Amino acid sequence: MASSSSDILILGLGVVLAALYIFREQLFAASKPKATPLAASKAANGSGNPRDFIAKMKDGKKRIVIFYGSQTGTAEEYAIRLAKEAKQKFGLASLVCDPEEYDFENLDQLPEDCAAFFVMATYGEGEPTDNAVQLMQNLQDDSFEFSGGERKLDGFKYVIFGLGNKTYEHYNLIGRNVDSALEKMGAIRIGERGEGDDDKSMEEDYLEWKDGMWEAFATAMGVEEGQGGDSADFVVTELESHPEEKVYLGEYSARALTKTKGIHDAKNPYAAPITVARELFAAHGERNCIHIEFNTEGSGITYQHGDHVGLWPLNPDVEVERLLCILGLHDKRDAVIGIESLDPALAKVPFPVPTTYGTVLRHYIDISAVAGRQILGTMSKFAPTPEAEAYLKNLNTNKDEYHKVVHDGCLKLGEVLQLAAGNSLKATPTPENTTKWAIPFDIIVSAIPRLQPRYYSISSSPKLHANSIHATAVVLKYENVPHEPVPHKWVFGVGSNFLLNLKHATNGEPVPLLDGDGEGSVAFPGYLIEGPRGSYKTETHYKAPIHVRRSTFRLPTNPKSPVIMIGPGTGVAPFRGFVQERVALARRSIEKNGPEALADWGRISLFYGCRRDDEDFLYKEEWPQYEAELKGKFKLHCAFSRQNYKPDGSKIYVQDLLWADREHIADAILAGKGYVYICGEAKSMSKQVEEVLAKILGEAKGGSAEVEGAAEIKLLKERSRLMLDVWS
């Protein structure tokens, strides 16, 4: 019996083994990849931990890592420029890193023959950019330890370039803090710390700093210039056939192209219908200020008072035509192109592809900015004549000549190239009157930065306008400083004039001429406001791509706290939202608790300034309505600088109104624990307002503005009771 059982067992096992052999392909094919030690493979090539920059450097044989702290994209642009220059000068490859995507415990593992660059912008009132918050915490937190168990970076070599604006109090604070933190831990800085001032010329500050830095870098790293060479960052290929529906014609994301739903943010802006677009300044005046309302219903977009709306503008038609003619692409504007990066770690393709030549120039790169001095040296290599080459090289190397011709003349890249070739800047560009330059399109993509959104303070409250975002924008328009051979011309801000075009189209208004002569008829910029594939235009309205950027510029949650708001000109925009926020709360409180519900509320004071009450008094008709609804808890103070004057004939500004109301202001801040908000131009207004506040508080404390007043201002900022939303 036992023998029989064993025979059956052996026979059954044989059948099973035979079956396994016969069907081995079907049974085990799917599981074959599991035999590959995937984790070990990833660890071997440095991709085991995507947040490990040291492993990525070793894997890519890179001797430089460049971290950038960037809010608007400028610091990232300079980081990429440094990487390109290191490659061109020394043949050294770099890893360009968003610090938000990496960990810093292994910063102490940077090899001796490597160096770290930090390109750090200072945001707001001395704050790190959003993507650099964790980096700064790690560098400044004494309890944070590196992989060796200590806070030491002995022998760690680094380079630093800070981006800031001298009109702000904490100029380049983040760059300086990174420098001091690294130095404190024993790191060795290569060269001088670079600091760029956006109030004057970030570009010139960078150019003056970088040559000395590279000399020090060569010595510290033991390398010689000339080991690199010019090499392309991208390969541009014309695609013979590609499905039209898969070609990006101005869309910013795959979701927009395929019309699928998703979160709307800076990577996927929302094409918001424009429901209202009206002029706020007096009719027939020389200046324009646009009030515009974007409908966000059904988009999933939310906002709070004090946030910013980012508007994605286009380049004007004339600049697109100018470069198409210069590049010899006038008749190939609609040719479909693919773009690949030759080194994605160094230079990512900055916009979605496949696309077209015309789309890149219109939607994706900033061809409307004043041409930088460095880019002119690059373009000189492709000049059509020796004279044009010499002209560009002179502008590239002669700082004074560049400043007179390009900077003061407000010349865009296309205009400089036309000028160098002897073309007229007055005529509308055509292939017949524009000299062709043999500039490869990959150079254009590499040299010209991405067209960035323009940000405006939101001038509404979601408590009153839950599905509508309001913005208030003065239209930027000014004259250049002509200098032979640069003619006189008008200069137009890209974002605000895009809004002006939308306003005219929304209301069916003709676009007015700048003046009555022939020049005016071609001077005002036009835009392809219908959008990609006409998607920004419907039978009833136009749309514009927007997203919301969060802010900490907020009212106190307790309405009993006094609030002082200073916002001349369009600086009043967020305060319209602030007041609407309080009106909504007042309505609910009165409905719930009766007419005396606001009795213990703190007063909201708005100090506003403009030229004249009959010319540029923004939202003039609304303020009395808000005063009535807030039952005496809102007071508006107005300064009309070209209407009312001091006894000596000088103009009255918001700071004069503050001084006149100094007793209430001192009491509201010191006794009432009130909050102060300043919004508007930073260069003079913001500083002067702070000086007056320091004087008021210093005297109220029985001291001086310089000592007691300055101490009180510092304390208010530390406690977030003095907040600024200012621009240069």
Can you give the pLDDT at residue 404? 95
Q: Is 74 annotated as a binding residue?
A: yes
- Report the distance separating Cα 412 and Cα 418, nearest Å: 10
Query: What secondary structure letter does DSSP report for 343?
Result: -
Contact 495, 454 (CB under 8 A): yes
Q: Is 726 annotated as a binding residue?
A: no
C-alpha closest to that of 162 among 172, 148, 151: 172
Ordered alpha helix ranges (H), 507-572: 518-523
Reduce the secondary structure of 26-82 to three states and give it as a string.
HHHCCCHHHHCCHHHHHHHCCCCCCCCHHHHHHHCCCCEEEEEECCCCHHHHHHHHH
* Lowest model confidence (mean pLDDT) among 20-34, 156-170, 195-209, 307-321: 20-34
Longest dimension (CA), the chain: 127
Please identify which of the residues 108, 179, 307, 725 carries the catalytic annotation.
725
Evaluate if residue 640 carries a pLDDT over 50: yes
Average pLDDT, integer, range 542-563: 96
Burial 213-236 (b: 16+ CB within 10 A, else e): bbeebbeebebeeeebeeeebbeb
Query: What H or E segment, with its residue span, contains residue 122?
Result: strand 115-123
Question: How far is CA 680 from its chain centroid?
Answer: 18
- Report the distance separating Cα 229 and Cα 86, nearest Å: 10
- What 3-state class would DSSP assign to 689? helix
- 634 versus 343: the higher-pLDDT residue is 634
DSSP string, 439-493: --HHHHHHHSPBPPPEEEEB-S-TTT-TTEEEEEEEPPEEE---BTTBPP-EEE-
Average pLDDT, integer, range 298-321: 96
Evaluate if residue 21 carries a pLDDT over 60: no
Q: Is 541 exposed, middle or buried (0-12, 13-18, 19+ CB in 10 A)?
A: middle
Reduce the secondary structure of 475-488 to three states and give it as a string.
CCEEECCCECCECC
pTM of the model: 0.84
- Counting residues of the chain whose pLDDT is more than 90, the rounded percentage is 78
Q: Is 285 annotated as a binding residue?
A: no
Q: Is 75 annotated as a binding residue?
A: yes
Cα-Cα-Cα-Cα torsion 460, 464, 469, 473, nearest 10 degrees, comes to -30
| Residue reference for tokens 């400083």 | 481
Average pLDDT, integer, range 579-594: 96
Evaluate if residue 681 carries a pLDDT over 90: no
Other Cβ atoms less than 10 A from the Cβ of 154: the count is 11
Can you give the pLDDT at residue 27? 39
As given in the structure block, the two tokens for residue 537 are: 């235009």
CB under 8 Å, gap of 24 or more: what pairs does 82-88 form?
82/117, 82/119, 82/159, 82/161, 82/210, 83/346, 83/347, 84/233, 84/346, 84/347, 84/446, 85/210, 85/214, 86/228, 87/228, 87/231, 87/346, 88/228, 88/229, 88/230, 88/231
Can you give the pLDDT at residue 513? 63
Order of strands across the sheet that contains 234-238: 234-238, 336-341, 355-356
Please identify which of the residues 265, 408, 468, 727 carries the catalytic annotation.
727
Count of positions (residues) in the chain:
728
Evaluate if residue 29 carries a pLDDT over 70: no
Contact 638, 567 (CB under 8 A): no
Please identify which of the residues 94, 457, 461, 686 carries the catalytic annotation.
457
Contact 609, 568 (CB under 8 A): yes
553 strand-pairing partners: none
Res. 514 pLDDT band, cuts 50 70 90: low
Q: Which residues contact 647 (CB under 8 A, 6 or more apart)?
A: none
As given in the structure block, the two tokens for residue 177 are: 């803090």
Evaluate if residue 109 carries a pLDDT over 50: yes
C-alpha closest to that of 289 among 524, 473, 513: 473
Contact 499, 292 (CB under 8 A): yes
Res. 626 pLDDT band, cuts 50 70 90: very high
C-alpha closest to that of 304 among 585, 556, 577, 678: 577
Query: What H or E segment, with its residue span, contains residue 121?
Result: strand 115-123
Evaluate if residue 2 carries a pLDDT over 50: no
Burial 620-636 (b: 16+ CB within 10 A, else e): eeebeebbebbeebbeb
Q: Is 170 annotated as a binding residue?
A: yes
Evaluate if residue 34 carries a pLDDT over 50: no
Q: Which residues contact 648 (CB under 8 A, 6 or more apart)?
A: none
Evaluate if residue 45 carries a pLDDT over 50: no
Annotation says 561 is catalytic: no
Evaluate if residue 20 carries a pLDDT over 70: no
Q: Is 456 annotated as a binding residue?
A: yes
Angle, in degrees to the nearest 10, between helices 413-420 and 373-380: 50
Other Cβ atoms less than 10 A from the Cβ of 279: the count is 17
C-alpha closest to that of 528 among 544, 517, 546, 515: 544
As given in the structure block, the two tokens for residue 102 are: 């990496």
Query: Regarding beta strands 563-566 and 675-681, do their DSSP bridges make them parallel or antiparallel, or are they unpaired?
Result: parallel
- Counting residues of the chain whose pLDDT is more than 70, the rounded percentage is 91
Burial 549-558 (b: 16+ CB within 10 A, else e): bebebbbeee
Annotation says 535 is catalytic: no
Evaluate if residue 5 carries a pLDDT over 50: no
Annotation says 600 is catalytic: no
Ordered alpha helix ranges (H), 185-339: 202-221, 254-258, 317-326
Helix, strand, coil percentages (3-state) for the chain, rounded to 5, are 40, 20, 40
Evaluate if residue 343 carries a pLDDT over 90: no
Going through 500-589 in order, the beta strands assigned E by DSSP cover: 543-549, 563-566
Evaluate if residue 650 carries a pLDDT over 80: yes
As given in the structure block, the two tokens for residue 116 are: 């770290």
C-alpha closest to that of 705 among 662, 671, 664, 675: 662
| Residue reference for tokens 């979605």 | 352
Evaluate if residue 507 carries a pLDDT over 90: yes
Average pLDDT, integer, range 102-107: 94
Evaluate if residue 330 carries a pLDDT over 80: yes
Evaluate if residue 179 carries a pLDDT over 70: yes
Can you give the pLDDT at residue 125? 77
Can you give the pLDDT at residue 285? 78
Can you give the pLDDT at residue 648? 92
- Report the distance separating Cα 354 and Cα 477, nearest Å: 35
Q: What is the pLDDT of residues 415-438, one digit of tens each?
A: 999 999 999 999 999 999 999 999
Q: Which domains does the chain have, with CATH numbers?
A: 53-221 (3.40.50.360), 244-513+521-547 (1.20.990.10), 563-726 (3.40.50.80)
727 strand-pairing partners: 681
- Report the distance separating Cα 329 and Cα 353, nearest Å: 18
Evaluate if residue 30 carries a pLDDT over 90: no
Average pLDDT, integer, range 245-260: 95
Q: What is the pLDDT of residues 77-88, one digit of tens each?
A: 999 999 989 988
Evaluate if residue 403 carries a pLDDT over 50: yes
Can you give the pLDDT at residue 515? 53
Q: Is 171 annotated as a binding residue?
A: yes
Annotation says 679 is catalytic: yes
Evaluate if residue 295 carries a pLDDT over 80: yes
Q: Is 219 annotated as a binding residue?
A: no
Ordered alpha helix ranges (H), 120-162: 133-140
Question: How far is CA 715 from its chain centroid?
Answer: 30
339 strand-pairing partners: 236
Q: Is 218 annotated as a binding residue?
A: no
Q: Which residues contact 708 (CB under 8 A, 6 or more apart)?
A: 697, 698, 701, 702
Can you give the pLDDT at residue 458? 98
Q: What is the pLDDT of residues 52-82, one digit of tens each?
A: 999 999 998 999 999 999 988 899 999 999 9
Can you give the pLDDT at residue 443? 93
Q: Is 496 annotated as a binding residue?
A: yes
Average pLDDT, integer, range 534-543: 94
Evaluate if residue 283 carries a pLDDT over 60: yes
Average pLDDT, integer, range 519-530: 71
| Chain mean pLDDT for the chain | 90
Q: Is 163 annotated as a binding residue?
A: yes
Please identify which of the residues 325, 638, 679, 686 carries the catalytic annotation.
679
Phi, psi at residue 612, to the nearest 5°? -145, 150
Cα torsion 167, 168, 172, 176: sign = positive
